[in-house]
Amino acid sequence: MNSDASAPKPLAANEVIKAASNLLRGTLVQELQDTSTGAISDDNGQLTKFHGLYLQDDRDLRNALKKEGKEKAFSFMLRVRLPGGVASPAQWLVLDTLAGELASPSLRLTTRQTFQFHGILKGNLKPLVQRMHHALLDSIAACGDVNRNVMAPPNPERSAALQRVYEDARSWSEFALPKTRAYHEIWLDDALVAGGEPEQEVMYGPTYLPRKFKTGFVLPPSNDSDVYSQDLGFIAIVENDQLIGYNVTVGGGLGMSHGNAETFPRLADTLGFIPADKVNVVGHAVLTTQRDYGDRTNRKHARLKYTIEDRGVEWFKAQVEERSGIHFAPARPVHFTTIEDPHGWHACVDGTEFYGLHLLSGRIRDEDGWPMKTALREIAEIHTGDFRLTPSQNVTISGVTPEQKPRIQAILAKHGLHKENERSRLRLNAMSCVALPTCGLALAESERILPQLLGKLEPHFAQAGVASEAVSLRVTGCPNGCARPYLAEIGLVGRAPNKYALYLGAKYNGERLNRLASPSVTLDGAVAMLAPIIQRYGTERHPGEGFGDFCDRAILPADATFHSVGTVATA
Ligand code: SRM
Ligand code: SF4
């Protein structure tokens, strides 16, 4: 067979779908009216992602339904767009009500500071989006090949600088929204204004980006949103309590596929320093460079990290400088110490306080002895501040006045939910992705086995006398890395039912990836491997040495170089 190696590769199927979609409309309106199935076509399924919606099915029911010759139990997941994770009490109450009335009863806080509904039946999609809209909430660009939910430090009123960082994050999020009216037409029944200006995606163009694109803002010493895992990162530089600018990072990303060495997690490179008022212009240049040069032929090679890996960071920096007209100054020194959310009560400069509430895996539901949904609803009913979703799937009850504090404390106490001090740091720092039963890509359990895994690991940390050490444990049901497991000191990544790859040795502050310690272990096998390491950590660690640093120094062989790109580079 003749093949011409120089012939251009065909575009990925998604590129053809986007191009033919009339700016993300496809035939969604018609398909939503089809009541003969709970599903939609694959092509339209790719487009709904840009509207924040995923078609899923209940994987617990798959086999039984197949045996009965029935359609899969289809439903949709909806991800809210919530830059910086801020929701008012009124919005909380709307979301709480919708979960149960029009979706599964539980709400899920994500690793990128937003809410997800699961289990929305096709016929409930429009009413749900419309009721969210009345509460000034939407799901535009929460998923899809666009700039996704922008992450930002969750408690801006802790300082004037943080407030400014939050505002810059919001501004970039708005700036980089798609301009199509498709969402409004399809879900909110907005008619196109006849004779109006022709619709144009000036920044994205008609085929948007080659792949998803993520932005995170951080303010050292906290690296709570794992800035080096973001396609585009802004590290706030503060002098004399004033924000003076940002170090800009590019090309982070974590997703990979088991057994495919061409896919890998990668930490971002630092391009340099920019003044604070240049965020949008630099963001625009980064995004359009990726728009023009990202790989549109292979979705497994389409993230910005591969564009930079292939073409070099100096080339990329030159592109951004040329497009933005801004010359990067040398990066300012930054020092990260933690990724942990603040738990319990904390004071803010405006005289209010916030309460950092720990939620395992971000799940909000009522369980015996753990009535999280009821408690948060009761708080929302009286709260005059707001709620902040954190990058570690927790929530802070923010802007609490001295008068309100006793009332909120009483609600937490009544429901037994003020126990952050009694939890191990391992538990407080743990994260897991959703995985089964809703995630179509899950190879193994994640959220559902986290409590069991913690229950088995915590006694080892206690026995070794290190229960109060902050240790990051992150579990995912597949190598896509939704709970950022490659930046965890202990990372477990699903391969098959009860089979996980075990990774150790990341730096706690998110500046170094972990390395493969075992390619395939059961959960019990992982606990058995970890037990003696935890014991040794208790007795052999250097003063102040984190668990990840200890594993990197004393446990992992020096030649265990699973990740080739594992350090923070500065261009
Ligand atoms: Fe993710 C796909 C859940 C954060 C990398 N992710 C998915 C899907 C939508 C599965 C699918 O495509 O069918 C999952 C839906 C599960 C469900 O039932 O809800 C899913 N990802 C999540 C969430 C909800 C995990 C959580 O438990 O919180 C997070 C939602 C964040 C948000 O609010 O926007 C979530 N996903 C992440 C992160 C972490 C981050 O962004 O900080 C990553 C790794 C960082 C990165 O992007 O490199 C991540 N998700 C992926 C990937 C791999 C992308 C790649 O470049 O290879 C996929 C699969 C894909 O895109 O093809 C994926
Ligand atoms: Fe699903 Fe994999 Fe993401 Fe977990 S890591 S939510 S299993 S895609």
The per-residue pLDDT for 570 is 38
Instruction: Note the pLDDT tens digit of each residue in 472-498.
Output: 999 999 999 999 999 999 999 999 999
Give yes or no for a contact between 473 and 435, defined as CB atoms under 8 angstroms apart: no
Distance CA 317, CA 323 (A): 10
Distance CA 569, CA 282 (A): 20
Cα 505 to middle of ligand 2, angstroms: 22
Instruction: Just give the CATH number of 145-189+199-339.
Output: 3.30.413.10
Q: Confidence band (pLDDT; 50, 70, 90) for 227?
A: very high
pTM to 2 decimals?
A: 0.96
Give yes or no for a contact between 485 and 503, defined as CB atoms under 8 angstroms apart: yes
The counts of H helices and E strands in the chain are 17, 22
**Single-letter amino acid, residue 236:** A
Token pair for 41: 């076509």
Q: Confidence band (pLDDT; 50, 70, 90) for 198?
A: low
427-555: CATH, from 3.30.1330.10, 3.40.50.2300, 3.90.400.10, 3.30.413.10: 3.30.413.10
79 is catalytic: yes
568 pLDDT higher than 50 = no
- Which residue, by CA, sits nearest to atom 27 of ligand 1? 433
E strand or H helix at 236, and its extent? strand 232-239
Q: Using the atom order of ligand 2, give the atom closest to the CA of residue 432.
A: 4
CATH class as words, domain 344-423: alpha beta
Chain region(s) in the chain for CATH 3.30.413.10? 145-189+199-339, 427-555
Is the distance from the beta carbon of residue 142 to the nearest atom of ligand 2 less than 6 Å?
A: no
Burial 130-167 (b: 16+ CB within 10 A, else e): ebbeebebbbbbbbbbbbbbbbbbbbbbbbebbbbbbb
DSSP letter at 213?
B
Is the distance from the beta carbon of residue 85 to the nearest atom of ligand 1 less than 6 Å?
A: no
177-195 average pLDDT score: 84
Range of weakest confidence among 116-120, 185-189, 226-230? 185-189
Distance CA 293, CA 291 (A): 6
What HEC string does 426-488 produce? Answer: HHHHCEECCCCCCCCCCCCCCHHHHHHHHHHHHHHHHHCCCCCCCCCEEEECCCCCCCCHHHC
- Report the percentage of the chain scoring pLDDT > 70: 95
Distance CA 147, CA 144 (A): 8
Q: Three-class SS of residue 315?
A: helix
Chain region(s) in the chain for CATH 3.90.480.10? 344-423
Cα 6 to middle of ligand 1, angstroms: 34
- Report the percentage of the chain scoring pLDDT > 90: 90
551 is catalytic: no
Cα 482 to middle of ligand 2, angstroms: 6
391-408 average pLDDT score: 96
Give yes or no for a contact between 369 and 110, defined as CB atoms under 8 angstroms apart: no
- Ligand 1: which of 111, 147, 565 to mutate, most ligand atoms within 8 Å of CB? 111
| Ligand at shortest distance from the CA of 494 | 2
Cα 434 to middle of ligand 1, angstroms: 9
Range of weakest confidence among 181-190, 354-363, 404-413, 550-559? 550-559
271-291 average pLDDT score: 98
